[in-house]
Structure 1
Amino acid sequence: MSPTGEKERVISIDVMRGFALLGIFVVNMLFFHSPYIYVNPYSWYQAPGDYETYKWIDIFVQGSVYPLFAMLFGYGLAMQFMKTQERGTSFTKLAVRRLLVLLLIGCIHAFLIWSGDILITYALAGLVLITMMKLKPFWLLLISALLFLIPNGLLSGFLFVLAKIDPNNAILYTGIQEVEASIVAYSQGSWVDVFWQRLDDWLYMSGNGLIVIMMLFMIVPFLLIGAAAAKLKLIERARELKVFWIITIIIGLAAGTAIKWIPYVMGDNVFTVTAQDTFGGPLQAMAYAGIIALLCTIPVVPKILSPVAKAGRMSMTIYLMQSIIATTIFYAYGFGLYGKIDIVTGTWMAVGIYVLQLVFAEIWFIRFKQGPVEALWRKLTYSNILPKKDENKINL
């Protein structure tokens, strides 16, 4: 795989990654400081400030940033594939190894740092994507639509019928025992207690091992969309595709936001909440991508957003830093503040930490071309495969 130099980078893609990292951190902060996964958030948060803050996160961020980041992940893999095609070099062998290294990093993150890891899912989904990388954009988009719409449409239909026929079984419940166990383990427990609670949380969020099936229908379609978009160069050609992006923004924001409001209009239950994130989130994600793509066609905007772009260039470093910083603040082996702050405080903490990360990224790139974790990722990927002189030329 050839170098990705400063001049070759698509700044708007880095800006999208950078903004997605902020959104991901704001959402993840709910998990970092409280047993969010075990509560019904629509009834759990009683204080007006908490309820309103959660409401706006839920409508405009939750379920909307991870599809954007997944599409960008697919976009990046496809860009690497096309570079190897142009130069007549191999893609599959190194791509598989690169994704396996990502899987290893994800396992370390999930089981030793924070249970809400997304890297494992991206690595597995990426392995699926590379088997279809040679397909034309039309087929990538068609497969994406079939993988996403059929199973998710059937599931939503079933949940809709369930909510109508048996409303009691469609209610969102709060697991009081699970909430209490989380608070005790994370705020007072030993490292071992935290480890076992983290493992329980991961198993719960991954559906007790059903993560592979969930990944196939929830993440792979977004990677396929990203790969198709890369082959069509939709972001690089944003200026000439202005009409396409404007239409995408209008439809995505209008339809996506309307769907995201459903639990607040129709009431919260398993159907409305599932439909909200499953269909509303991806539509908003596409609109957000369009807004950033068009903004970055204005010459002064990339310069203004340069710090955000630099954070996007070292996205895995920023993502892992967020987990390390937050768990140190909230878990017992750090400051033990788990369960002791409200959503408003947590949200502003996320924004403040992210701003400090922008400063860190700005300083880091004065001396280095890659983030520290990205450099390690590259080293592990190419170790014992390429001669040292060739390895030093590579900058993913």
Structure 2
Amino acid sequence: MVDVIRGFALMALFLVHMMESYELYWAAPREDAIIHGIFLLFMGKSFSLLALCFGFGFFALMRGAAARGVDFSGRFIWRLIVLAAIGSLHALIYRGDIIQLLALLGLMLPLFHRVKSNQVIVAIAAAFLLQPVLWVQFAAIFLGGGPGEAAGAALAGGDPAMPIYLHGNFGAVLRENLVDGQIAKWAFLLHSGRILQIAGLYLVGMVLGRIDFFGRLSANGRARRIALVAAVVAALATHFAVAAMSHAAVPQFLSDDGYRLLSVIVGGWFDLAVTAIWVLLLCELWLSRAAVLLIPLASVGRATLSLYILQSLIFVPLFYPFGLGVYDDWDSVTRLWVGLCGIAAQLVVARLWFARFRYGPIEWAWRSLTYLRTDIPLRTTQSRAG
């Protein structure tokens, strides 16, 4: 089930990247019905689903190690250091890499693993998801200026790296992504509240593992459906709240910076509500006859790291001017069809790969570096022989 969610999240994130032309869309954004629909359904939700699965994956690793009588905390930290290094290399090609973020924020998980009370963990997760830092910045603006103005200005400001991406050669893009591009990315993650959002979702995923949520789907159907209704209501309420804030009544008592911050906060809650909807809908489908349609996503979910990096290696040179430069040639319909064909290809490749191999290629390398071993079997036949 978790592999299915992870695979769905990766394919959704891929569609968002295709609509964004791997960030070049934001140089001159022209939203239409297709782009609006993809962004509404998946932007901010796909990486949230991955964060939720990351927290669950941490729990599964720790539980498995505990069953063997091993403390995995130190090894997990080393595992994240390796992952951060992989993400840093990937970020040279695509500045928007999220592997770095997931790895570095994951360093907090061993600390919270020692907290035994699920209620305490949920309370801390809720505090993160309420975005206290953004509320402090909003209050500073509302009360007459202060540090919150810097956050509002950062959300409204342009991207200093975009001229390089639009006109630079491959070497210039690499240099930009090495330092300045990363600074801009991390500033956006901080001012948009995504860092706290991912931290909160990590903890939620860990608690879902502790209560065996995905292992007891048949037993918690009623509670799950109630949660689905609540998530739909929350999504509708926050969506219309963001829409209402664009009317003239709000700017009368809020500055532009304050309006932007408030929109980010409420918009983040909308993303969380839709994330919950996707999880609960996938669970319902998994228990129905439609489960057969979800099974191919499990193979994609097992190779998330490899496919995520492969997507960038193919499509960044395709979109960027140092390669084919089709970012301003393809309209949204073309990008959508290419994206859907790319999803179909990844489903087929993943299925064929796991017919012969136990791990994705980069997953295998990551596992080998985690344990500092080279004899970890990759082929399925090796596993059977062992």
TM beyond 0.5: yes
Contact 1:156–1:275 (8 Å) recurs in 2:
no
Q: 143-152 vs 286-295, which deviates more?
A: 143-152
Q: 1:190 aligns with which of 169, 176, 179?
A: 169
Give 3-state SS (helix, strand or coil) of 2:214's partner.
coil
Q: Take 2:194 and 2:75, find their aligned partners in 1: how far apart are those partners? A: 22
Q: CA deviation at 1:60?
A: 1.8
Tell me, what secondary structure is at the counterpart of 1:73?
A: helix
Task: State yes or no: 1:228 paired with 2:217.
Answer: no
Change (3 A) 1:83 1:192: same
More contact order relative to length (CA 8 Å, sep ≥ 6): 1
1:334 to 2:314 alignment: no
Aligned position for 1:124: 104
Q: Deviations over 1:204-237 (max 9, x none)?
A: 12118x8599665221111001001100011111
Task: Work out the CA distance in 2 between the residues paired with 1:99 and 1:266.
Answer: 40
AA at the equivalent of 1:52 = A
Does the Cα contact within 8 Å between 1:144 and 1:221 map onto a contact in 2? yes
Q: 2:255 — aligned with what?
A: none
Give 2:56's match in structure 1, choosing from 75, 80, 84.
Answer: 75
SS in 2 for 1:323: helix
C-alpha offsets along residues 333-382 of structure 1, whole Å, 9 cap, x if unaligned? 42122333333322332222111111110110111011111111111111
Q: Which is further off, 211-220 or 324-333?
A: 211-220
Is this contact kept in 2: 1:148–1:218, CA < 8 A?
yes
- Native 8 Å contact 2:296 2:351 kept in 1: yes
Closer, same or farther: CA 346–305 of 1 in aligned 2, 3 Å? same
Segments of 4+ in structure 1 off by > 4 A?
Answer: 36-39, 169-174, 210-216, 387-393
The TM-score, its normalising length taken from structure 1, stands at 0.81
Q: TM-score, normalised by structure 2?
A: 0.83
Shift in Å, 1:115: 0.4
- Identify the match of residue 151 of structure 1 among 111, 132, 136: 132
Q: Distance in 1 between matches of 2:211 and 2:323?
A: 47
Q: 2:270 aligns with which of 280, 286, 292?
A: 280
Question: Is the Cα contact below 8 Å between 2:131 and 2:265 reproduced in 1?
Answer: no
Superposed, 1:36-55 pairs within 5 Å as 36-37=25-26, 44-45=29-30, 50-55=31-36
Q: Distance between the aligned counterparts of 1:157 and 1:88, measured in 2?
A: 48
The answer as to 2:296 corresponding to 1:317 is: no
The separation in 1 between residues aligned to 2:196 and 2:80, in whole angstroms, is: 19
Could you tell me whether the CA contact under 8 Å between 2:368 and 2:376 is conserved in 1? no
Deviations 1:75-133 (A, max 9, x none): 011011112222211211211111111110010011x2100011111111111011211
Match of 2:90 among 103, 106, 109: 109
> 2-side partners of 1:383 and 1:212: how far apart?
37
> Offset of 1:139 from its aligned partner?
1.9
The equivalent of 1:22 in structure 2 is 11
Counterpart position of 1:9 = none
Aligned amino acid, residue 231 of structure 2: G
Letter in 1 for 2:359: Q
Q: Provide the alpha-carbon RMSD of the alignment.
A: 3.3
**8 Å Cα contact 2:131-2:197 kept in structure 1:** no
Aligned letter for 1:61?
F
1: CA distance, partners of 2:223 / 2:49: 18
**C-alpha deviation, 1:64, in angstroms:** 1.6
How much has 1:310 moved relative to structure 2?
A: 0.6
Cα deviations by residue, 1:234-293 (Å, 9 ceiling, x for unpaired) = 111111111121112111122124313444443285145303432111111112111111
2:297 corresponds in structure 1 to 308
Structure 1's unaligned 5+ residue stretches are: 1-11
- Native 8 Å contact 1:329 1:336 kept in 2: yes
What is residue 59 of structure 1 aligned with on the other side? 40
Indicate which of 355, 360, 364 corresponds to 1:375.
364
Gaps of 5+ in 2: 248-258
The 5-angstrom pairing of residues 210-221 of structure 1 reads 217-221=196-200
Q: Which residue of 1 aligns with 2:74?
A: 93
Q: Contact conserved, 1:159 with 1:270, CA < 8 A, in 2?
A: no
SS across alignment from 1:63: coil
Aligned length: 364
Closer/same/farther in 2, CA of residues 31 and 227 from structure 1, 3 Å limit: same
Match of residue 219 from structure 2: 240
User: CA separation of 1:253/1:388 partners in 2, compared to 1, >3 Å: closer, same or farther?
Assistant: same
For residue 309 of structure 1, report the CA deviation from its aligned partner: 1.1
Once residues 270 and 226 of structure 2 are traced to their aligned partners in structure 1, the CA distance between those partners, rounded to angstroms, is: 16
Deviation at 1:158, TM superposition (A): 3.2
